[in-house]
A and B are shown apart, each in its own frame.
Chain A
Amino acid sequence: GQQLNQSPQSMFIQEGEDVSMNCTSSSIFNTWLWYKQDPGEGPVLLIALYKAGELTSNGRLTAQFGITRKDSFLNISASIPSDVGIYFCAGQLRGSSNTGKLIFGQGTTLQVKP
Chain B
Amino acid sequence: DAGVIQSPRHEVTEMGQEVTLRCKPISGHDYLFWYRQTMMRGLELLIYFNNNVPIDDSGMPEDRFSAKMPNASFSTLKIQPSEPRDSAVYFCASTLNTEAFFGQGTRLTVV
Please report the number of residue pairs spanning A and B whose Cβ atoms sit closer than 8 angstroms.
58
Question: Whole-angstrom distance between the alpha carbons of A43 and B45 in the complex?
Answer: 14
A84 at interface, CB cutoff 8 A: no
Residues of B within 8 A of A33 (CB): 98-100
**Residue interface mask B86-100, A partner, CB < 8 A = 1:** 000001010100111
* Given known contacts A1-B58, A106-B42, A107-B42, A43 and B31 CB-to-CB distance under 8 angstroms: no
Residues of B within 8 A of A40 (CB): 104
B12 at interface, CB cutoff 8 A: no
Structural contact, A50 and B48, CB atoms closer than 8 A: no
Query: Size of chain B's interface in residues, with CB distance under 8 A?
Result: 23
Structural contact, B104 and A48, CB atoms closer than 8 A: no
**Residue interface mask B16-37, A partner, CB < 8 A = 1:** 0000000000000001010100
**Residue interface mask A69-100, B partner, CB < 8 A = 1:** 00000000000000000001010100000111
**In the assembled complex, how far is the CB of residue A6 from the closest CB belonging to chain B, in whole angstroms?**
9
Structural contact, A50 and B98, CB atoms closer than 8 A: yes
Residues of A within 8 A of B103 (CB): 42
A60 at interface, CB cutoff 8 A: no
Question: Whole-angstrom distance between the alpha carbons of A102 and B55 in the complex?
Answer: 12
Question: Whole-angstrom distance between the alpha carbons of A98 and B95 in the complex?
Answer: 15
Which of chain B's residues 55-96 have a Cβ closer than 8 Å to chain A? Answer: 55-56, 58, 91, 93, 95
Give the A-binding residues of B (Cβ under 8 A): 4, 31, 33, 35, 42-43, 45, 48, 50, 55-56, 58, 91, 93, 95, 98-105
